[in-house]
Amino acid sequence: MAGAITEPTLAAPSAPVIDAALGRIRAIVGDRGWTTDPGEIAPHVIDQRDRYHGAAAMLVKPADTAQVAAVVGVCADQGIAIVPQGGNTSVCGGSVPGTGGDEIVLNLSRMNRVRDIDPANYTLCAEAGCILADLQAAAAEADRLFPLSLAAEGSCEIGGNLSTNAGGINVLRYGMARDLVLGLEVVLPDGTVWDGLRALRKDNTGYDLKQLFIGAEGTLGVITAAVLKLFPIPRVVTTALVAVAGLDEALTLLSCARSASGDQVSAFELLPRIALDFVCAHVPGTRDPLAKPHDHYVLIELSSGDPGPALAETMERLLGQAVEDGLVLDGVIAANTGQSRDLWKLRDSCSEAQKHEGGSIKHDVSVAVSRVPEFIRRATALVEAAIPGARPVPFGHVGDGNIHFNVSQPPGADKAEFLDQWDALNRIVHDLVHEMGGSFSAEHGVGQLKRDDLARYRPAIELALMRRIKTALDPRGIMNPGKVV
């Protein structure tokens, strides 16, 4: 019976039990591997949006998989809750503990070795604590591309990326984090190690267990290492920012670009005028590259392994035709990497620029790519009716159907009063997303922030299946309690 499965609940262990467990953990990880110093713990119990302030009995930083397994084993014995943590860049409170102070934060940052690169197999095996940008660099050194890319790449870690199934700017071409994994090593909630570090593209041997842990946000085990897919490095990348005639025209342009380039579109990002205004007003070193203002812009990037002029010609032909067809009103193609960086800066600065316009209520949603224009129109109308003067700033990865539908407060409004309407506005937008067959969390995950949404929008049978899996793997409920399910 769907409703009969309840999630495991953890009775808080007594203070002597916690003390004894912490003593055993200290012995396992040694002096460099733990702290109870409140100053050192502080940045690890607050999320990066400063929304959740938790407390931890200890910050544990294991050096290798054996230490992780031993620590988890102690916690399993004693019923101590564990919050796995990478770069702590989660935007939904997934990586910080609750307020009880009886959980440990298990931070993987010291496990930052690239164990192996196999260029001929186009794979790289890395430990969970490797910073994403370092992995991109390690792949590049071997003349390969690791395509996962997001604004937090200088501090987020691959274990966190996989645990949140991160998306970012290259999903259209290379898929989500989930699509970039061939094998995993996981410490299970009872402290045993599952070595699934196979580097195979074909492996039909039963259930695809690694996919259970990818996107599980630390609720089913601790990812300690992964075999990741690599790709050929693009020899040529061409970037353009174009003003489109409207949202429907943006969608048509996407199809044209995919066809004309032989599916070499690596990014297709939407920017509304208001986002460009915010960026140019608040982010030093940015300017509107076009002569006149327009309502909607698209940042298009094509990339290819052919070092010749063909890709640049494709971009020019594509945009020339799009102007002729009335899809594109104006645009600029970057002439060099510096100009390309400048165009990307306009897109990458959207979130940052919004901070200067007061409060912003966030929605990380997706719908079918074909329904993005309809979604933006309907959501904008609903938001404007709910909070007169509120300013929707729908930007992001339209190429894969993911819109960051962030809403800035009305100019001059009280920030706190506006943010008080967070849940009510989320409800309006997420109801629409649900009605349109979309997702209330496209790439950021569930964490603490969207737990209620999961219960509200997913069918009972899906929730029941998730809880059965949770109960089967983590019967004591020690893995990241209070998150996701």
Q: Which residues contact ligand FAD (rule: CB under 6 A)?
A: 48, 83-91, 94-95, 108, 128, 150-152, 156-157, 159-161, 163-164, 166-168, 217-218, 222-223, 443-444, 447, 480, 483
Least Å from the CB of residue 108 to ligand FAD: 5
Task: Give me the least distance between CB of 314 and ligand FAD, in Å please.
Answer: 26
Task: Tell me which residue has tokens 């929008």.
Answer: 457
What is the C-alpha separation between 69 and 246, in angstroms, rounded? Answer: 54
CB of 163 to ligand FAD, least distance (A): 3
Q: How far is the CB of 94 from ligand FAD (least distance, A)?
A: 3
State the nearest-atom distance from the C-beta of 235 to ligand FAD, in Å: 25
Q: What does the H/E/C string look like for 59-109?
A: EECCCCHHHHHHHHHHHHHHCCEEEEECCCCCCCCCCCCCCCCCEEEEECC
- DSSP-derived pairing of the beta strands 103-107 and 81-85: parallel
Q: Which residue is nearest to ligand FAD (CB)?
A: 160
Q: Within its chain, how far is the Cα of 419 from the centroid?
A: 23
Instruction: Give the nearer residue to ligand FAD in terms of CB position, either 87 or 147.
Output: 87
Minimum CB distance to ligand FAD smaller for 315 or for 405: 405
Least distance CB 150 / ligand FAD (angstroms): 4
Contact at 8 Å (CB) between 169 and 267?
Answer: yes
Q: Which is nearer to ligand FAD, 91 or 254 (CB)?
A: 91
**How far lies 444's CA from each of 126, 128, 232, 290, 364, in Å?**
22, 18, 27, 32, 7
Q: Which is nearer to ligand FAD, 104 or 429 (CB)?
A: 104
Signed CA dihedral, 448, 440, 427, 250: sign only: positive
Of 126 and 369, nearer to ligand FAD (C-beta) is 126
- Distance from first CA to last CA of the chain, Å, rounded? 17
Instruction: Give min distance, CB of 51 to ligand FAD, in A.
Output: 12
Name the residue nearer to ligand FAD (CB basis): 167 or 196: 167
Give the span between the Cα atoms of 221 and 214, in whole angstroms: 10
In angstroms, the CA 7 to CA 13 distance is: 18
Shortest reach from residue 480's CB to ligand FAD, in Å: 5
- Say if CB 470 and CB 485 are below 8 A apart: yes
Q: Which is nearer to ligand FAD, 220 or 251 (CB)?
A: 220
Rounded to the nearest whole angstrom, what is the least distance from the CB of residue 39 to ligand FAD in the complex?
19
- Closest distance to ligand FAD from the beta carbon of 308 (Å): 32
Least separation, in Å, of the C-beta of 448 and ligand FAD? 9
Which C-beta is closer to ligand FAD: that of 43 or that of 262? 43
- The residue (of 223 and 250) whose beta carbon lies closer to ligand FAD is 223
Residue number, 151 or 237, with CB nearest to ligand FAD? 151
Closer of 90 and 261 to ligand FAD (Cβ):
90
- Residue 395 vs 418, nearer CB to ligand FAD: 395
Smallest distance from ligand FAD to CB 404, Å: 8
